[in-house]
Amino acid sequence: MIIVTGGAGFIGSNIVRGLNKRGLNNILVVDDLSDGNKIRNIEDCDIEDYMDKDEFLNRIKQGMEFGGPTAIYHQGACSDTMEADGRFIMQTNYEYSKSLYHYCGEYSIPYIYASSASVYGGGEVFKEQPKYEQALNAYAYSKLLFDRYVRKNPGVSDSQVVGLRYFNVYGKGEEHKGRMASVAYHFFNQYHEQGYVKLFGGSGGYADGEQLRDFVWIDDVVDVNLHFLEHPEANGTFNVGSGRAQSFNDVATAVLNTLENATKTSEQWVAEKKIQYIEFPQALVGKYQSYTKADLTNLTMSGEYSKNFAKVEEGVKNYVTQLAAVR
């Protein structure tokens, strides 16, 4: 059995779907379905069972073996970077992850867990090394502290332990995430609701819409996750991004070009007022990453992973086409 926590969430449900495509269906999905909309993410998935996240944790603490899992994908977390309740964040993201880490160590179960590029804070070097890490908010700190815990306590497990630092992931299955959904998703909806898309104005020394992020397509993220399942000898912390820094203008342009079957530039869309800028929110000042770009040396140059990651122009086009097909 493969256990996927957060299995009804964005990345988790796509991992479940990826496992299904490989003929694997002995899967236990663990999640919190207080938001019933998340059921849409797994209704077409072939799974063995479902369990609430609190019940699962209770059984973990009791030492229940679940028939001997072959791996645990820990994707469950509070992913709201604006969540102000630090106690809730630490309990949900940090303590829960620790419990699963010790459980996997005790029963020799491969443990592949979701970390985050937010651990790099406002820096401009994105290597999996302590000197480049800093946290700008409680969410980032919860992720960073668990990465540090694993580093400091490697003897907990003699099985595979892999932490994946996701950059800005976009794609199918994120509809329930509200404000934390990708900008590609929000741009798609804004276009249909008002005929144009809204981007942040200039900030952090960047011009309007020119803040740069590493946007990574969900299909590429799933491929990396499944790669490590197929290579249980691999261990460590790895960045998962495209390895490119592209602007929010690039994303908006890809959305608009796909929806209008065009090949225009961002400047042309601005001139047509289909890209518009709003004042950068004061609430995000000092808490916002204006630039991210995954250093993939640890993942790719080591020979660990060799596939190419989609550019925004390719991945966003595929995603928007999927969204338009079901609208």
Closest-CA residue to 51 (of 31, 78, 68, 24): 31
Q: How many CB atoms lie within 10 A of CB 50?
A: 16
Catalytic one of 139, 141, 166, 305 = 139
Q: Is 139 a catalytic residue?
A: yes
Place of tokens 């890209």: 275
Q: Are strands 71-74 and 215-217 parallel, antiparallel or unpaired?
A: unpaired
Question: First-to-last CA distance in the chain?
Answer: 35
CA dihedral sign of residues 165, 170, 173, 178: positive
149 neighbors 141 (Cβ within 8 angstroms): no
Sign of CA dihedral 79, 85, 91, 94: positive
Among 172, 293, 287, 290, smallest CA distance to 239 is for 293
Which uninterrupted H or E stretch holds 254? helix 248-259
Which one of 127, 177, 198, 311 is the catalytic residue?
177
Give helix 183-194 / helix 312-326 axis angle, nearest 10°.
Answer: 50
Best CA proximity match to 251, nearest among 316, 207, 314:
316
Q: For residue 112, list its beta bridge partners.
A: 73, 162
177 an active-site residue? yes
Block residue for tokens 């020979």: 303
Q: Helical H runs in the chain?
A: 10-21, 53-61, 86-89, 96-107, 138-152, 183-194, 218-230, 248-259, 266-271, 312-326
**Is 251 exposed, middle or buried, given 0-12, 13-18 or 19+ CB atoms closer than 10 A?**
buried
Three-state secondary-structure class, residue 18: helix
- Write out the catalytic residue numbers: 139, 177
